[in-house]
Amino acid sequence: MRVMSLSSRLVHHGNVRVLVVEDQKVLADRIAEGLRDQGMAVDVVYDGPAAMEVTSFTRYDVIVLDRDLPRVHGDAVCAQLVAGPASARILMLTAAASVEDRVDGLNLGADDYLGKPFAFTELVARIQSLARRSPATPPVLRHGDLVVDRVRRRVSRADRPVVLTRKEFGVLEVLLAADGGVISAEELLERVWDANADPFSNTVSVTVSRLRRKLGRPVLIETVIGSGYQLCG
């Protein structure tokens, strides 16, 4: 299967939350690893019931859903997701390549359909295309003299370029999208990292501190004691 022909030419995409639902654990984990290398936050489950459980409390931009799942078939999972409150876009995967199979999947409410085997570059492109169609913030975000171009992944303040890591960029995106609202460390961990992140670590506070320093003065990110972080100014 060509799925793991990873290319260094792929573009990193920050702050896209993806759920991979695939019963072939090796394949699922390799997909997740590759997507994380692209800057996405990725969770993995291996059957339908687990997918329904995790989507009940975590918001995803895109769900990569294998059609041929054990226990609960991917068709049933797709139908339940579409009928529920989740706004995630669904990309169905299947080894079945007939037109009828693709039509069936799309008629269930899937947003896109990709047959196996597939090139990893195409999977990334499909996910990014679906993520852009999810309810989201505009491609260019502004806050005073701060400008964040989400497509080109460029940040500037008072026309001065600011170079950020992927995680710093993701944190800034979430804070900007909140439009002055307070975002908890737990929510930042969920949106920018993934289920593998240690909730008891100081990863978020360290990343926010670095981001605050890079953005310069006057300080843009305020710590709300006991609640989280918010943009000020």
Give the total number of structural domains in the chain: 2
Q: What is the DSSP letter of 12?
A: P
**Distance between CA atoms of 97 and 75, rounded to whole angstroms?**
15
**Distance between CA atoms of 117 and 94, rounded to whole angstroms?**
9
Same domain, 15 and 129: yes
Element (H, E) at 5: none
pLDDT along the chain (233 residues), means of 10: 40 71 94 91 93 87 91 88 81 74 68 88 90 65 88 87 89 85 86 70 90 94 92 83
Same domain, 13 and 112: yes
Same domain, 114 and 36: yes
> Is the C-alpha dihedral spanning 180, 183, 189, 194 positive or negative?
negative
Distance of CA 104 to the CA centre of its chain: 26
Give the CATH number of the domain where residue 193 resides: 1.10.10.10
**Distance between CA atoms of 168 and 28, rounded to whole angstroms?**
27
Say if CB 48 and CB 69 are below 8 A apart.
yes
Residue type present at position 170: G
Structure tokens at 13: 């995409």
Give the CATH number of the domain where residue 12 resides: 3.40.50.2300
Contacts of the segment 153-157: beta carbons below 8 A, 24+ positions apart: 153/12, 153/14, 157/215, 157/216
Residue 155 has φ and ψ, to the nearest 5°, of -130, 140
DSSP β-bridge partners for residue 113: 92
Structural domain that includes position 186:
140-231
**Distance between CA atoms of 169 and 171, rounded to whole angstroms?**
6
Same domain, 70 and 105: yes
Where among 133, 161, 195 does a domain terminate?
133
Residue type present at position 103: V
Instruction: Write down the pTM of the prediction.
Output: 0.59
Same domain, 34 and 118: yes
Same domain, 199 and 183: yes
